[in-house]
A and B are shown apart, each in its own frame.
Chain A
């Protein structure tokens, strides 16, 4: 089936045009185009399909919280055409068998391309290197390796991993958290944690690892990606490493761009996340860094959890929050409506750059004739209220429940096929 998107602006720039999608590619851009199906996109912005560097799909192992099927439907609703599935499943994605399974499930369901992330160490145990090369050579073609959820804290192991993946242009995506400084940590260490009596997760525990890993990356000439940076100090370190010309990239989550550790005052575990929500000064620094390019990409860290893992005491609750379906709207609220980013820059930070970091082909491509028809149609004027019950994700742990957000994904196309429309998967 062919589609024509009528009267849309590319990257929110210039005069409206018609865009025809046919046989998986952008077939034509012009005026007065027609196709099997027509979609009125007046007032809408067309972006390349969003790419998430950091998604927890929970399959295999925790299918009660999310599956590849439900998670990729949530992704499509959020405007994503590709997601990177984190390795902390049960079993851990530390072998070619597991990553190929996840990759194939993504292909079968067809809502969104799934690119598995391989574990750096066997069982995420931080002891022995997993078979990174075999995962890279598998059908899943893994390029990003991460023990996310846990830090590769052993400096020697981290050094070897950064070196080893050079052979296949891989990147180590580090969850920067010095474990000895965060034993039992529950929330950002600061004024709020002192009053709430919750064990602190100090900024230095993130920053110390980032500083070390940047130096290791320089030493071995490797490629480092830092997951979900959350502090003003981390921003300074990434800026410093980039200034040196080292191959270091960083991502920030939507929730760290909007929320602060004031949320923890409710003791509502919906707001318990790792790394934790920080202070307003950190939020401001992260926004500035995403605007000036110090932070390369927005990544959701979509972390669905079953109700019983969240409906509990703060200390006993699981860490993480969902994010695929709200990511773009939160970025628009914090970055676009405030004038910090143009739509073209949103396309870079949520599609082109993440695709480049993951070495993806066919995603994050220009909006041009002949390119793959992986596109996201955004209605910037469609404000909405976040309703957890209305989400496509199997889990309900969004921290934005009840928030009024600007901009809604009107439609998502994966290789020319409609995957979501008006907040519903197709």
Chain B
């Protein structure tokens, strides 16, 4: 594995499989009464969040704490659009304090790449702008494998604001590596120019794709996109691309419904569907902690079995 996790494209099939397998081990820890391993005792993990994200920050924090790492939450407020001295100066500060890993969330695409060039420790991309969110893709893959038993040949449909989605980019790259077949569905305005070159199918017709899907992943669509004329109204978007109760009837029995959150209920996904039996939304949150434990453990040099030899 690389020293950093900046893009899902950095992961080979072996790397990704190792992370998922390690996450399976980690998941066992979460089922114990004492949910803690001594593995990263004495190591320091910094959560560097330039953009608000309670759920991702909490997930990483919990993951690091369950591995007994010291966790520092570094609130870099208001720096997202101000000049970039902040990133460099913050990085140098963290470096001087002896951090072993920095988990970074940033509103600019590529900021983790810039950070990795400055500091000696590991950098984990926890979401950068409209670029990538590799641990989200890993937890999604983990959830798919958990629910459906495999990834190879799985037909995964990702629906929503592909243009602005870091979740979509990381999922397309990782699922390609893992052998799944991805179809992206959105109105044409919410695809980036150049999407033709991605290792994924592109469709504007959700109803045509749903019956063939093993996994349907709905992405959040921000209402402010309407202001920039990406689509005329929330109602029309929901009508054409929302996963409502009627559309769910077209799915195969085994098909699961995923969402990385936060959801806009009633927009891209109906409440009944989000809370329904097919929904893995809560599992994704749980699995997120296990996957992030695995990532931190492997990046910070774990080579033997993460939770000791007993169950390995």
Which residues of A come within 8 Å of B, CB atoms? 186, 189-200, 202, 266-267, 308-309, 311-317
- Which of B82, B107, B132, B195 is the one whose CB lies under 8 Å from A194? B195
Chain B residues whose C-beta falls within 8 Å of the C-beta of A312 in the assembled complex: 83-85, 87-88, 114
Complexed CA–CA distance, A315 and B86 (Å): 13
Which residues in window 58-91 of B have CB below 8 A to A?
Answer: 81-85, 87-88
Question: Interface 1/0s, chain B 213-229, versus A by CB < 8 A?
Answer: 00000000000000000
Complexed CA–CA distance, A191 and B191 (Å): 12
Among B11-19, B20-28, B123-131, the stretch that binds chain A is B123-131
- Which of A194, A196, A199, A267 is the one whose CB lies under 8 Å from B114? A267
- Residue pair A200, B192 in contact (C-beta under 8 Å): yes
- Residue pair B192, A313 in contact (C-beta under 8 Å): no
Chain A residues whose C-beta falls within 8 Å of the C-beta of B303 in the assembled complex: none
Closest partner residue, chain A, to B87 (CB atom): A313
Given A197-B131, A313-B108, answer yes or no on A266-B194 (Cβ-Cβ < 8 Å): no
Can you name 16 extra interface pairs (CB under 8 A) apart from A186-B109, A190-B194, A312-B84?
Answer: A194-B198, A195-B194, A196-B110, A196-B131, A197-B132, A197-B169, A198-B131, A199-B130, A202-B193, A266-B113, A267-B114, A311-B88, A312-B83, A314-B114, A315-B107, A315-B129
Which 9 A-B residue pairs are closest in the complex by CB-CB distance?
A: A312-B84, A197-B131, A267-B110, A194-B194, A194-B192, A315-B108, A197-B130, A197-B109, A313-B108
Which residues of B come within 8 Å of A, CB atoms? 81-85, 87-88, 106-111, 113-114, 128-132, 166, 169, 192-195, 197-198
Given A313-B108, A313-B114, answer yes or no on A193-B194 (Cβ-Cβ < 8 Å): yes
Chain B residues whose C-beta falls within 8 Å of the C-beta of A202 in the assembled complex: 193
- Which of A195, A308, A309, A316 is the one whose CB lies under 8 Å from B108? A316
Chain B residues whose C-beta falls within 8 Å of the C-beta of A193 in the assembled complex: 192-194
Closest partner residue, chain A, to B196 (CB atom): A191
- Residue pair A191, B197 in contact (C-beta under 8 Å): yes
Chain A residues whose C-beta falls within 8 Å of the C-beta of B88 in the assembled complex: 311-312
Closest partner residue, chain A, to B115 (CB atom): A313
- Residue pair A197, B113 in contact (C-beta under 8 Å): no
Closest partner residue, chain B, to A189 (CB atom): B193
Complexed CA–CA distance, A329 and B107 (Å): 38
Chain A residues whose C-beta falls within 8 Å of the C-beta of B132 in the assembled complex: 197
- Which of A195, A196, A266, A309 is the one whose CB lies under 8 Å from B83? A309
- Residue pair B109, A198 in contact (C-beta under 8 Å): yes
Closest partner residue, chain B, to A314 (CB atom): B110
Complexed CA–CA distance, A67 and B131 (Å): 37
Chain B residues whose C-beta falls within 8 Å of the C-beta of A313 in the assembled complex: 84, 87, 106, 108, 110-111, 114
5 contacts between A and B (CB under 8 A): A191-B194, A195-B169, A196-B110, A200-B193, A312-B87
Closest partner residue, chain A, to B168 (CB atom): A197
Nearest chain A CB to B133 CB, angstrom units = 10
Chain A residues whose C-beta falls within 8 Å of the C-beta of B192 in the assembled complex: 189, 193-194, 200
Chain A residues whose C-beta falls within 8 Å of the C-beta of B131 in the assembled complex: 196-198
Complexed CA–CA distance, A266 and B88 (Å): 17
Chain A residues whose C-beta falls within 8 Å of the C-beta of B114 in the assembled complex: 267, 312-314
Complexed CA–CA distance, A194 and B195 (Å): 6
Complexed CA–CA distance, A317 and B166 (Å): 21
Closest partner residue, chain A, to B109 (CB atom): A197
- Residue pair A195, B198 in contact (C-beta under 8 Å): yes
Closest partner residue, chain B, to A310 (CB atom): B84
Chain B residues whose C-beta falls within 8 Å of the C-beta of A314 in the assembled complex: 108-110, 114
Identify the interface centre among A191, A311, A312: most chain B CB within 10 Å of its CB.
Answer: A312
Chain B residues whose C-beta falls within 8 Å of the C-beta of A189 in the assembled complex: 192-194
Chain A residues whose C-beta falls within 8 Å of the C-beta of B82 in the assembled complex: 316
Nearest chain A CB to B86 CB, angstrom units = 9
- Which of A190, A194, A197, A311 is the one whose CB lies under 8 Å from B166? A197
Chain B residues whose C-beta falls within 8 Å of the C-beta of A191 in the assembled complex: 194, 197
- Residue pair B195, A311 in contact (C-beta under 8 Å): no
Complexed CA–CA distance, A195 and B132 (Å): 9
- Residue pair B110, A194 in contact (C-beta under 8 Å): no
Chain A residues whose C-beta falls within 8 Å of the C-beta of B166 in the assembled complex: 197
Chain B residues whose C-beta falls within 8 Å of the C-beta of A266 in the assembled complex: 113
Chain A residues whose C-beta falls within 8 Å of the C-beta of B129 in the assembled complex: 197-198, 315
Complexed CA–CA distance, A180 and B304 (Å): 55
Identify the interface centre among A192, A196, A202: most chain B CB within 10 Å of its CB.
Answer: A196
